[in-house]
């Protein structure tokens, strides 16, 4: 029994590492979370696109426009209602359980692209991989780049954790 658990853990580590390396190597932030349920269960939550306010305390509401998938857009209002950011879905693939979105307004960066991917690890385990890249941070009076990266890391970590909890239920 111990050998089986060890082999399962080894497979998860090897598969997870291989697939994480398949992500962009120049990611400003890469976050991962192993989830004790199938990749299909996790993807079922992530692929909704218009309900991320359920998973993030930083977002009070989401307004979706357009088709679900490529070309769709969402405007996410901050928890205090004072700010927003607009995202455009630029890639969506149900078969590979991945989508990519560009932040086009409301963040102090140029060329910001984020990606979610759900990896099947087998044995009713999966991994959420989130990457964020941007070309340039734009100086502003609200926050420094370090503060922005801290906020981004905290917000994405919370969202990934909450998606994982919802997928297991």
Site of tokens 């909890």: 165
Per-residue pLDDT at 28? 87
Q: Which fold has domain 2-168?
A: Alpha-D-Glucose-1,6-Bisphosphate; Chain A, domain 4 (3.30.530)
With a cut of 70, say whether residue 51 has pLDDT above it: yes
Mean pLDDT, residues 45-53 taken together? 94
CB 126, CB 11: distance < 8 Å:
no
Q: What is the pLDDT of residues 8-45, one digit of tens each?
A: 433 344 444 333 433 444 668 999 999 999 999 999 99
- What are the φ/ψ torsions at residue 61 (nearest 5 degrees)? -160, 160
Q: What is the pLDDT of residues 63-87, one digit of tens each?
A: 999 988 999 999 999 999 999 999 9
* pTM for the structure as a whole: 0.82
With a cut of 80, say whether residue 3 has pLDDT above it: no
The DSSP bridge pattern shows strands 29-35 and 59-65 to be unpaired
The DSSP bridge pattern shows strands 136-137 and 73-78 to be unpaired
List the domain boundaries for the chain: 2-168
Q: What is the pLDDT of residues 92-151, one digit of tens each?
A: 999 999 999 999 999 999 999 999 999 999 999 999 999 999 999 999 898 999 999 999
């Amino acid at each position: 029994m111990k050998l089986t658990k060890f082999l399962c853990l080894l497979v998860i580590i090897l598969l997870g590492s291989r697939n994480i390396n398949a992500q962009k190597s120049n990611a400003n932030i890469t976050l991962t979370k192993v989830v004790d349920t199938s990749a299909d269960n996790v993807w079922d939550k992530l692929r909704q696109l218009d309900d991320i306010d359920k998973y993030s305390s930083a977002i009070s509401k989401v307004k979706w426009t357009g088709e679900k998938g490529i070309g769709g857009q969402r405007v996410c209002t901050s928890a205090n209602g004072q700010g927003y950011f607009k995202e455009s879905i630029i890639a969506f693939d149900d078969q590979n359980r991945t989508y990519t979105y560009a932040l086009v307004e409301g963040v102090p960066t140029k060329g910001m692209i984020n990606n979610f991917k759900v990896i099947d690890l087998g044995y009713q385990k999966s991994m959420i991989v989130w990457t964020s890249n941007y070309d340039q941070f734009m100086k502003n009076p609200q926050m420094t780049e370090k503060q922005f990266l801290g906020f981004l890391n905290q917000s994405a970590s919370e969202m990934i954790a909450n998606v994982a909890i919802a997928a297991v239920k």
